[in-house]
Structures are given as structure tokens and as C-alpha cells.
């Protein structure tokens, strides 16, 4: 389970960098990274998931997961 939480968090972090249209400027991106860092250090899956979008999907090892 720890590995999948890390994978989801890493994917969310990458999405923030790759798709800058979600953030207006550099300060917004830094704020999201700050929130992600706090959630990861606290090992808060809920905190990490709150930073994602409702239509988030991820496929790993043939299994597709969503934000639910």
C-alpha cells in the first residue's frame, strides 16, 4: 500500500509540472508542492488525494485506479 500511495503522489506531482494550465504561475505550483510535501510527510493519503482531480486515473501493472 505504501508503494501505491507514493506512486499516486508522484503522479500528481508530475501532473502539476507537466500541465501548467492548472496553475496560473510559479507561486501556485510552489504552493501545491508545499501541500503535497506536508501530506506525504504526514503519510496522509486523504491529504494527497485532495490535491488530485476528480477525473484522475492511473494504470499500473494492468490495473486502472481512479480517484475513488
What pLDDT, on the 0 to 100 scale, is given for residue 42?
94
Higher pLDDT: 5 or 39? It is: 39
23: pLDDT confidence band, cut at 50, 70 and 90? Answer: very low
Alpha-carbon gap, residue 32 to 25, rounded angstroms: 11
Q: What whole-number distance in Å separates Cα of residue 64 and Cα of residue 52?
A: 16
Residue 44: its pLDDT value, please?
Answer: 92
pLDDT in tens, 28-62: 888 888 998 999 999 998 898 888 888 888 899 99
Amino acid at each position: 500500500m505504501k508503494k501505491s500511495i507514493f506512486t499516486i503522489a508522484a503522479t500528481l506531482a508530475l501532473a502539476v509540472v507537466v500541465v501548467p494550465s492548472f496553475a496560473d504561475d510559479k507561486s501556485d505550483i510552489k504552493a501545491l508542492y508545499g501541500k503535497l510535501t506536508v501530506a506525504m510527510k504526514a503519510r496522509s493519503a486523504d491529504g494527497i488525494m485532495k490535491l488530485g482531480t476528480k477525473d484522475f486515473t492511473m494504470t499500473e501493472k494492468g490495473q486502472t485506479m481512479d480517484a475513488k
